[in-house]
Amino acid sequence: MLLRLLIICVTLCAFGMPKSGRIPKHDHEVRDPIHVFIHFDSDERKVIDSRPLQRLRHIHQLALTYLIYPGATHKRFEHSLGVMDLAGKVFDIVTKEQNLSEDVRKLLPEVNQDKKRTYWRSVLRMAALCHDVGHLPFSHAAEDKLLPSGWNHERLTAEIILSNEMNSIWAGMTPPLRPEDIVKLAVGRRKAPPGMKFSRWEEILSEIIVGDALGVDRIDYLLRDSHHAGVSYGKFDHHRLLDTLRILLTPATSEPALGVEQGGLQSAEALIIARYLIYSQVYFHPVRRIYDIHLCDFLTQWLTAGKFSTELEVHLSMTDNEVTAGLREAAFDSTKPGHESARRIICREHFRVIYERNPSDLQINPESSSAIFHAAQKNFGAECVREDKYTQKGGSLDFPVLQRDGSCESSLALSETLNKIPVFAIDYVFVRPEKRPEAEKWLEEKRDAIIKEGRKKEDE
């Protein structure tokens, strides 16, 4: 004890002590239910304290899912911190000297230079932190309806990162960060502003965040969403997965990509199975989906001109809180715009499923749900029926796997499991609750004929 005190005194004498008597703190941490502690430095803290990040404290990660899974009230804010934490960890693992082959070093010279590595680690963590700042209230997926043409949340994210407000933070850092670099890594190649060119290195780093198979955005949301929803579906051994991530050469084309060591293949499979299960059980639960549709109906009536503004000041001032207040007000006042949809959410009078996609009907008509939707609309009126369709995005989950002999193979060539995970797709037709008994009877009688006769053959 005495020795420890002595060391502290000597250290303070040697390096000087601020007048206040307190040592300035540059390493900060917060507790997190998924990653236990999340550490960040003073520059990152400035970003965390900025308006765009603080706004995410008021954007639910899973929109109205809490109406079905009451625990799912977590916000984009803590997810953003989690993605930053994971991105930093992955960067440290994949750039570790013993984890890089000579071939990869040649193709990615950035990993050999300490200064560049430090710069890009910082860019990656900032991009991970900011990757969701453009999300609309309730993380709304219906961006094509609720934003002006040509806009999506990734474009808003890019605009915020490039804004003067954030630029002053990037410029004040040591070394200063280029906002364009942060945009690239935060939104990835597919959603990057037109004309933005990606180097190989930038492709790999953006893959660490937004990658389809092994990206940390997905890793964090699967773990976090399952934790808060109270389900086990999204859980997998992410510690093992992170530990075995590597930058490897794709077997067929020798281009570098994010992959895993052979020993991590099973945890990657578990991640992908977890995704399939949580999609089916949580994200695409039919009641969650219909609440989303009611919310979209409400917003198109409640918002000025039926759209969210893309002006940054307005965007930053609009959160779930303002929308929830609007919903509650409209639900109990029939003169307010969006009253009907708001009431359906607040009073839990949502539409009910009368039809959902199934393989036998698809054999007869690949658009069976649309055929039923249109027939139901004709029979019960457009205002009484809603349709919801979604098919999983992305391709087969192909990533390189490092074999024990040093060669790389495609994950799809090695894993029976990855090839067998079904593609996730839903089609639902909903009707007003008061019409449900009538609609179910109607469907029982007409279903086969509607599906058969509704097959479209609009040839040239």
Partner 1 sequence: MNRLKQDALLSELADQLRRRGSWCGETHMQKATYFLQDLRRVPLGFEYMLYKHGPFSFDLRDELTAMRADGFLDLSERGPYGPSLVPTRLSVELRNDFPKTLEKYGSDIEFVSDSLGNRNVAELEKLATGLYVYFEHASRSQVIRAKILHDLKPHISISDSLEAIKQVDAIVERSA
Point out which residues bind partner 1 (CB under 8 A). 107, 189-190, 200, 203, 250-255, 257, 359, 362-363, 366-367, 391-396, 398, 410-414, 416, 419, 422-425, 455-460
Tokens of 460: 């040239």
Query: Which residue's CB is nearer to partner 1, number 255 or number 453?
Result: 255
Cβ at position 101, least distance to partner 1 in Å: 14
Give the angle 398-400-404 at the CA atoms, nearest 5°.
140
Cβ at position 199, least distance to partner 1 in Å: 11
C-alpha torsion sign, points 187, 191, 194, 200: positive
Angstrom distance (rounded) from CA 22 to CA 2: 21
Cβ at position 197, least distance to partner 1 in Å: 9
DSSP states along 232-256:
STT---HHHHHHHEEEEE-TTT--E
Q: Check: CB of residue 439 under 8 Å from CB of residue 354.
A: yes
Angstrom distance (rounded) from CA 395 to CA 411: 13
Cβ at position 345, least distance to partner 1 in Å: 29
The gap from C-alpha 246 to its chain's centroid, in whole angstroms, comes to: 22
H/E stretch holding 409: strand 408-410
Cβ at position 425, least distance to partner 1 in Å: 4
Cβ at position 398, least distance to partner 1 in Å: 5
- Three-state DSSP at 145 gives helix
Cβ at position 212, least distance to partner 1 in Å: 9
Query: Which residue's CB is nearer to partner 1, number 66 or number 373?
Result: 373
User: Alpha carbon of 89 to those of 262, 279, 322: distances in Å?
Assistant: 20, 26, 36
| Residue 356 bridge partners (DSSP) | 428
Tokens of 294: 């009611």
Sheet holding 256-261, edge to edge: 245-249, 256-261, 400-402, 408-410
Query: Which residue's CB is nearer to partner 1, number 143 or number 243?
Result: 143
Query: Which residue's CB is nearer to partner 1, number 11 or number 363?
Result: 363
DSSP label at residue 175: S
For the chain, give the number of residues.
460
| Residue 298 bridge partners (DSSP) | none
Q: Check: CB of residue 288 under 8 Å from CB of residue 282.
A: yes
Query: Which residue's CB is nearer to partner 1, number 147 or number 192?
Result: 192
Tokens of 300: 């198109």
Angstrom distance (rounded) from CA 201 to CA 306: 41
Closest by alpha carbon to 122, among 162, 76, 175?
175
- Three-state DSSP at 420 gives helix
Cβ at position 98, least distance to partner 1 in Å: 24
Query: Which residue's CB is nearer to partner 1, number 31 or number 457?
Result: 457
Query: Which residue's CB is nearer to partner 1, number 114 or number 459?
Result: 459
Closest by alpha carbon to 234, among 277, 265, 269?
277
Cβ at position 460, least distance to partner 1 in Å: 4
Query: Which residue's CB is nearer to partner 1, number 105 or number 307?
Result: 105
Query: Which residue's CB is nearer to partner 1, number 67 or number 141?
Result: 141
Cβ at position 397, least distance to partner 1 in Å: 9
Query: Which residue's CB is nearer to partner 1, number 142 or number 414?
Result: 414
Look-up of token digits 């490092």: 402
Query: Which residue's CB is nearer to partner 1, number 157 or number 411?
Result: 411
Cβ at position 190, least distance to partner 1 in Å: 5
